């Protein structure tokens, strides 16, 4: 059965794309960021739909006109107030109080379902009081809530992104439970992001060029901050290449063969002091000289995208540089098709496209949940 929905805090339309792929129909959207609206309207056919820029300015009378027409209210309400990456101010911050705007819309429209998303940190924010307040509010509005933490990596995209999803069921109207949802795919490899180089060279595989010469890797052709120790690491002592001596900048790398394990040493605050990154791994290069950070290397998977998208990979071609993920690759990590990115790129800068990818929900996760709403 097809359901109708409105898309709150719409961003670039990750909720919408997932819902539509599950067969549901969008009636309208709300988005205050002018750049995100440009992308949204370039990607989606919004002609004739109800829309608003600022959810706080929509009157109760206007909302009541939607009663009986809307089956689902969708919303990834702003997460910065509850995120581990932010200051976790919760309802003390304006963005945190936007949840109560969702509650206001639910009260006036009375949809069959509420379909909400936020960071995993919402569950334990303020010792769990924030989440209890949300559940209590939904209960007062007549909604029974269920929730589950899902990871994007289990739904066909190579990104380690945990988010809590909440389904509110209007008592007397809503049907069966949606959760738990099982993973849809085995964890995907970073090669799923693809390689947009014109040469078409893939990003999978673990063998370097057999001529064995490679400069020390830096972020961009030797310029800027180094995020790695000079390179590298033959495993086999019998190769008689000074064991694990780290090469210095400018020295040729040890000759490598397909039998060697090799990669790049990324500084981390661990007992070893580093992690090894190989082709197919991702590298978080934010605060590159920090001595306190760990978890910089994602083994065969990207770390959680944020609005800066400080993710990089090792190029599988000479000179084997570390390069930042492109905006298109970041959009792919959120499950968007290339045609959607191409439309957004016509109306927005790369900096905005990175930000929009980091703020989005992951399309295949939304679809998996949306398919269980019917």
CATH number, position 73: 3.40.50.150
pLDDT digits (tens, 9 = 90+) for 189-228: 332 233 333 333 332 222 222 222 222 222 233 333 233 3
**pLDDT for the residue numbered 20:** 98
Confidence of residue 105 (pLDDT cuts 50, 70, 90): very high
| pTM (two decimals) | 0.74
Same domain as 309, residue 228: yes
330 is catalytic: no
Of 293, 308, 325, the one marking the end of a domain is: 325
CB atoms under 10 Å from CB of 245, counted, come to 11
Q: Is residue 273 a part of any domain in this protein?
A: yes
Please check whether residue 109 lies inside any domain of the structure. Answer: yes
Tell me the pLDDT tens digit for each residue of 278-297. Answer: 777 777 766 655 655 655 67
Q: What mean pLDDT comes out for the span 235-251?
A: 43
CB count in 10 Å sphere of residue 182: 7
Residue with tokens 């069921």: 169
Range of the domain at 38: 4-186+333-370
pLDDT of 59 reads: 95
Instruction: Identify the CA nearest to 125 among candidates 115, 140, 138, 135.
Output: 135
Q: Are 105 and 177 members of one domain?
A: yes
- CA 129 to CA 143: how far, in whole Å? 19
Reported as a single tens digit per residue, the pLDDT across 1-12 is: 899 999 999 999
How many angstroms separate the most distant Cα atoms in the chain?
79
Q: How many CB atoms lie within 10 A of CB 96?
A: 21
pLDDT at position 314 is: 74
Catalytic-role residue among 74, 79, 309, 330 = 79
């Amino acid at each position: 059965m097809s359901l109708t929905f409105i898309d709150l805090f719409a961003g670039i339309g990750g909720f919408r794309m997932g819902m539509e792929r599950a067969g549901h129909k969008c009636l309208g959207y709300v988005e205050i960021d002018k750049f995100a609206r440009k992308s949204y309207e370039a990607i989606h056919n919004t002609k004739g739909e109800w829309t608003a820029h600022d959810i706080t300015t929509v009157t109760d009378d206007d909302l009541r006109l939607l009663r009986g027409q809307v089956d689902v209210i969708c919303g990834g309400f702003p997460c910065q107030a509850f995120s581990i990456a932010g200051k976790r101010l919760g309802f003390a911050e304006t963005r945190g109080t936007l949840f109560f705007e969702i509650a206001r819309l639910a009260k006036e429209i009375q949809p069959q379902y509420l379909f909400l998303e936020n960071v995993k940190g919402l569950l334990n924010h303020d010792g769990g009081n924030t989440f209890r307040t949300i559940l209590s509010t939904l209960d007062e509005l007549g909604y029974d809530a269920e929730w589950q933490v899902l990871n994007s990596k289990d739904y066909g995209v190579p990104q380690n992104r945990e988010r809590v999803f909440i389904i509110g069921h209007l008592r007397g109207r809503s049907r069966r439970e949606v959760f738990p949802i099982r993973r849809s795919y085995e964890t995907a490899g970073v090669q799923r992001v693809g390689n947009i180089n014109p040469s078409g060279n893939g990003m999978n595989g673990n063998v370097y060029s057999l001529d064995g010469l490679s400069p020390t890797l830096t972020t961009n052709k030797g310029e800027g901050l180094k995020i790695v120790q000079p390179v590298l690491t033959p495993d086999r002592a019998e190769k008689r290449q000074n064991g694990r001596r780290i090469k210095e900048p400018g020295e040729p790398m040890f000759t490598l063969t397909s039998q060697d394990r090799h990669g790049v040493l990324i500084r981390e605050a661990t007992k070893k002091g580093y992690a090894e990154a190989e082709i197919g791994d991702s590298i978080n290069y934010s605060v590159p000289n920090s001595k306190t950070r760990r978890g910089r290397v994602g083994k065969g998977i990207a770390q959680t995208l944020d609005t800066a998208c400080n993710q990089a990979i090792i190029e599988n071609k000479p000179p084997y540089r570390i390069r930042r993920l492109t905006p298109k690759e970041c959009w792919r990590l959120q499950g968007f098709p290339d045609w959607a990115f191409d439309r957004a790129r016509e109306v927005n800068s790369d900096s905005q496209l990175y930000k929009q990818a980091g703020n989005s929900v992951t399309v295949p996760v939304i679809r998996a949940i949306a398919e269980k709403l019917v």
